[in-house]
Structure 1
Amino acid sequence: MAALLNYDSDCEFGYDFTSEDEALLIQLASTEPNPAAAGPRPEVTSVIDAVPARTKSDCGHDVATFRNARSGAPRNRDGSRVLLGGPSRGAESGLETLPRILPTPVSLDEDVTYPDLSRALVNVEAVDEDPVPTGPANNTTEPGPMDQDDRSPLQKFRSYPRKPLTVSDLTAGSWCELQYEYTLTRLPGGRRTRTKAMREGSKVHKKLEDEVHTTVKVDIMTKEDGFGLRLWNLVQGLRTLRDTGLTRELEVWGMVDGNLVNGVIDSVSYKNPNPEFEEELSSQESQLDPEQSSLIDYFPPKGKDDEARSRRKIYLTDVKTRGTLVKPTNVVIRPAKVQLLLYHRFLSDMAAGRLDYIKVCRRYGLDVDEPFSDAFIAQIGNLHDEIFVDASSSDPESSAPPEPDLVKYSNLRELLSLVKEEVHLTFPEGEDSLGHMLRVQYIYRVDGRAIEAYDFPVSKEKLDIQLNKYMAWWRGERKARGVAIEEAFKCHSCEFAADCSWRQEMDQELAEKARQKRIGARRGGRR
């Protein structure tokens, strides 16, 4: 009997039988099997864990659906499972047996018998358990179009809904661009591996912050609550600066090439880190050529606005920790300088009112009119009484009934008005309220003792040069660069040094130079 799949049929479950096949099927269905005549059957391992459910097909036929719990069963070309059983029952009925294992026909009840499909399945090629499809998608030497990602690092790592750029993003290139590229592409979340030195440094910064601020836990219910808390911390930081002359961990935002950048300043104070140096640079302004004026391009001209110059200025300091008492070199200090220049620019823009806070909120995907959660308002109200408007303090002669207390800052839009007011109170002269000297303070992370402090003036032009260089990589206009040969000491502490392409190229270049030098020496000796 030949039971062949009819691929021309409108129903994929239809079969074509000859008249002889139909007669044989009727005979088989009406004949009682004789186990003794067939002899003992070999043990068969069943692959069906339950009675097959019966469902209606599109063609009106009942279709057996097999629930197979084994994940290791082979797959057909279309991805469906192949259920393996014992030898076909065709051997018992005199039908031709197959040389390979095939599914065992299943009888659901006494009057329904499924036909043997051995002859139809014998032509099906055997497949592996997990076949690897061929084609461009699995070509490991030349990836297909789906495997190629031509987006810039800015698009891949710092575009919405991912977080915006940070000051750390723009200063990491001062140390090693390639190391930062590896960090973004190879490490979980694009974050550097936390080392013991980093954890100890965080403890030092936390200790310094606790000297100025008291940490209070606030529960966050929505993302608007989260950003609202950051704004309240900014307000509190500005007030602390005005009241005590010092604040720490002040968050700022700014724009670079139309991209939002976020950062946190270690220390902001009214204390001039080096007044003698600032006065010396200011007095030399008239003696400098235009090409040299970049050193003090933020200094106001001498003799102008003397009253504003005599007022208190605000100065920025960045604190770095070291595990050794050895003074850092200029190469080590360079990233910190870029960091402070960025902080100064961002804070200047905020003081001058040039920062669009609504755009900042939109970049984070926030709704400025979405009300804060009741829990958040209650917690902030315990810290800042001004969040509530006392309606009972209104006109006492009014005959209107008193209204309950109202929330003055119930959403981000209302809170931003307070932020702008606090910024103006802290920087009454706008960006001129900021001093023009910056300091990098290095301390010993073991006991907090001071190692060295480096003071330098603000330079707008130098910052622009650095930003143009780093943003070229972020925009995808060039590949990331490794360190120069004289800065190869940085590789000793890099977790990617073992398979760094830049380092390998440098090693090959040095080896080739040494080989050429030896060849030249031998030739010179022969002469």
Structure 2
Amino acid sequence: MANPVIPSLTAEGLASEYGSDLDFGVPALSDYGSDFDNEEEALLRDLLAQIATNERRNAPQSTETHSVEGDNDAEQSTIVHVSPLPAVARVANSTAGIELFPNRRTQPIEVEYDGYSRDSWSVPRSHPTRQEQRTNPSMPTELIENDTQSPLQRFRTKPKKPLSVTDLVSPAWCELQYWYNLNKFGRKPQTPAMKQGSKVHKVLEEQVHKIVPILVESKEDRFGLRIWNTIQGLRTLRETGMTRELEIWGIVDGEVVNGVIDEVSYTCPDSGYGEALEQSKAPKIGGTRSPGQSSILQSFANDDIGVGGWVSADTSTRTTYIADVKTRGVKAVPVGASLKPTWMQLMVYRKLLKGLALNTVDAETVFARYGVLPLEPFTEQFICGASGIEQMTELEPDEEDPPDFRRASEISIHNNLSALWSLMISEFALSMKLFSDILRAEFRYAKTGEIIGNKMLVYSDKQIDEYLASEMKWWKGLREAKGVEIEDAYKCRVCPFADECTWRRMKIQEATEKYRLKAAARPKSAV
């Protein structure tokens, strides 16, 4: 079978392999600008249905209180190889029949900002919601002083969602600012610039995926759809050399962490940069690896990939590259300290991705955190929906192309979360045997989607391990949040919490006292 036709990307220069001029003719009703995501809408529907049931019974029932953020289960997509583009299955609205939801990201869009685009991160101040007025009547500083819970206990403990990669890397800009955001909003507030950035990501993803609705009935169905999406994303990677919006899970310091990688590919972003990096490593590791030599990942990978193992091309010598797409309000690539959150994000992605490829992520811990039963069978409705996608293909059965027609029964064979997770791990082993240390950040202009430029960094285990250890101490309440250092004080000019920031006041007092002492120590000139 011929590979699915993927639109070629025609941007000039280095970026030509990764992006194109984007068409922003998206429907006006796109959920990308909605104040509620799909999971929040599902929670509201559940609550309304529960209220109606309680009223009919005339007896109140105790229920578990869920975070309005939820786990974003309903926002996942399943990639299936059909012609001309792989299809994306969206969770349909079970209360109103099948509905085609616009494709949405599960993680907040990261918008890089600096002094030239400070409006991107202005916290909305006008027209506060009644919930904000009720739960946040006082200044964030008062909340911090009176609260003894750790950030993890307050904001990322069940029934609230688990930690995200965004939670781990946003404090790299300023921990105190993120702490204030959590206290005031419970998460990073979405701004108009972030909504525009979502449109850019949506257009990029739709270049390789097509959206199809699927009905789900249970939490296990919803989480199964997320795993299924990752499986199909890995297959898209093997067949086309690139996939987008790949959801991953990992465990950091005992806590489950979830993230979505913008782009994973087999294409080196800069061959000259890659060769120079390999040559610099050669003396340290005793030379470069010969073409036939097994990598560490190949040594650890299980040779028996089990039922459902599906290889469309030889990936044994392919190297995996990770990229993150950032949208900006100005046509300028950030520099210096502004890039730290981006670099930490890419390093966390690579660390989590490698953990899945090596099968070191404990599935039971992940399932327990999401409150799903690993051996609970998927519902017939979900199995039929996932299998029914195969009917969309116009291809006829062919002995040379069994994978496409075996996939319809795959979800029936792996009909619970435990089995589906095992299938996902086997797909990781097939897809990712070598990991490049080159990490790429692609910057696009938010208004048009055009590529502004690219920045690259070399991955460092030591650097990311030290960073995560420090951040987890803050999340677990083992230390207080820190503000920025004096050399990064420019960040305070774009911070909406500058007026009430305790760290800023403390630094001003320290500088004033230092100046006073220095002045007092100067010898007075004789008159």
- TM bin (shorter chain): 0.5 to 0.7
Q: State the 1:449 CA deviation.
A: 2.0
Q: State the 1:499 CA deviation.
A: 1.0
Tell me whether 1:242 sits opposite 2:238 in the alignment.
yes
Q: State the 1:335 CA deviation.
A: 0.9
Q: Give the structure 2 partner of residue 224 of structure 1.
A: 220
RMSD: 2.7
Equivalent residue letter for 2:475: W
Q: Give the structure 2 partner of residue 209 of structure 1.
A: 205
Equivalent residue letter for 2:426: E
Measure the CA separation in 1 of the matches of 2:497 and 2:150.
21
Q: Give the structure 1 partner of residue 504 of structure 2.
A: 503
Q: Give the structure 2 partner of residue 340 of structure 1.
A: 346
Measure the CA separation in 2 of the matches of 1:378 and 1:493.
51
Q: Which of 152-161 and 248-257 deviates more?
A: 152-161
Measure the CA separation in 1 of the matches of 2:252 and 2:511.
38
SS in 2 for 1:217: strand
**Equivalent of 2:272 in 259, 273, 276:** 276
Tell me whether 1:421 sits opposite 2:426 in the alignment.
yes
Which structure exhibits the higher relative contact order, with contacts defined as CA atoms closer than 8 Å and separated by 6 or more residues?
Answer: 2
Q: Give the structure 1 partner of residue 370 of structure 2.
A: 364
Label 1:423 to 1:327 Cα distance change in 2 as closer, same or farther (>3 A).
Answer: closer
Q: Give the structure 2 partner of residue 351 of structure 1.
A: 357
Q: State the 1:304 CA deviation.
A: 3.7
**Equivalent of 1:180 in 178, 182, 196:** 178
Equivalent residue letter for 1:164: P
Label 1:210 to 1:194 Cα distance change in 2 as closer, same or farther (>3 A).
Answer: same
Is the contact made by 2:387 and 2:411 (CA closer than 8 Å) also made in structure 1? no
Q: State the 1:274 CA deviation.
A: 2.1
Q: Give the structure 1 partner of residue 416 of structure 2.
A: 411
Q: Give the structure 2 partner of residue 137 of structure 1.
A: none
Q: State the 1:282 CA deviation.
A: 2.2
**Equivalent of 1:194 in 190, 196, 211:** 190
Equivalent residue letter for 2:444: I
Q: Give the structure 2 partner of residue 374 of structure 1.
A: 380
Measure the CA separation in 1 of the matches of 2:377 and 2:452.
48
Measure the CA separation in 1 of the matches of 2:425 and 2:282.
36
Label 1:384 to 1:494 Cα distance change in 2 as closer, same or farther (>3 A).
Answer: farther
Q: State the 1:424 CA deviation.
A: 2.3
Q: Give the structure 1 partner of residue 168 of structure 2.
A: 170
Label 1:498 to 1:406 Cα distance change in 2 as closer, same or farther (>3 A).
Answer: closer
Q: State the 1:514 CA deviation.
A: 4.8
Label 1:354 to 1:242 Cα distance change in 2 as closer, same or farther (>3 A).
Answer: same
Measure the CA separation in 1 of the matches of 2:290 and 2:251.
28
Is the contact made by 1:274 and 1:437 (CA closer than 8 Å) also made in structure 2? no
Q: Give the structure 1 partner of residue 97 of structure 2.
A: none
Count of residues in correspondence between the two structures: 347
Is the contact made by 1:278 and 1:457 (CA closer than 8 Å) also made in structure 2? no
Q: Give the structure 1 partner of residue 108 of structure 2.
A: none
Label 1:278 to 1:194 Cα distance change in 2 as closer, same or farther (>3 A).
Answer: same
Q: Give the structure 2 partner of residue 491 of structure 1.
A: 492
Measure the CA separation in 2 of the matches of 1:514 and 1:280.
48
Label 1:243 to 1:518 Cα distance change in 2 as closer, same or farther (>3 A).
Answer: same
Aligned pairs for 1:278-297 within 5 A: 278-285=274-281, 287=283
Label 1:325 to 1:375 Cα distance change in 2 as closer, same or farther (>3 A).
Answer: same
Is the contact made by 1:282 and 1:302 (CA closer than 8 Å) also made in structure 2? no
Equivalent residue letter for 2:379: S
Is the contact made by 2:383 and 2:411 (CA closer than 8 Å) also made in structure 1? no
Measure the CA separation in 2 of the matches of 1:193 and 1:470.
21
**Equivalent of 1:252 in 237, 248, 253:** 248
Q: State the 1:319 CA deviation.
A: 0.8
Q: Which runs of 4+ in 1 moved over 6 A?
A: none
Q: TM-score, normalised by structure 2?
A: 0.61
Q: TM-score, normalised by structure 1?
A: 0.61
Listed as ranges, the gaps of 5+ residues in structure 2 are 1-137, 139-144, 296-315, 393-408
Is the contact made by 1:316 and 1:438 (CA closer than 8 Å) also made in structure 2? yes
Q: State the 1:510 CA deviation.
A: 3.3
Measure the CA separation in 2 of the matches of 1:405 and 1:281.
41
Q: Give the structure 1 partner of residue 395 of structure 2.
A: none
Q: Percent identity?
A: 41
Is the contact made by 2:363 and 2:418 (CA closer than 8 Å) also made in structure 1? no
Is the contact made by 1:473 and 1:480 (CA closer than 8 Å) also made in structure 2? yes
Q: Give the structure 1 partner of residue 12 of structure 2.
A: none
Aligned pairs for 1:23-42 within 5 A: none
**Equivalent of 1:152 in 150, 153, 156:** 150
Measure the CA separation in 2 of the matches of 1:232 and 1:244.
18
Equivalent residue letter for 2:476: R
Deviations 1:15-42 (A, max 9, x none): xxxxxxxxxxxxxxxxxxxxxxxxxxxx
Equivalent residue letter for 2:161: K
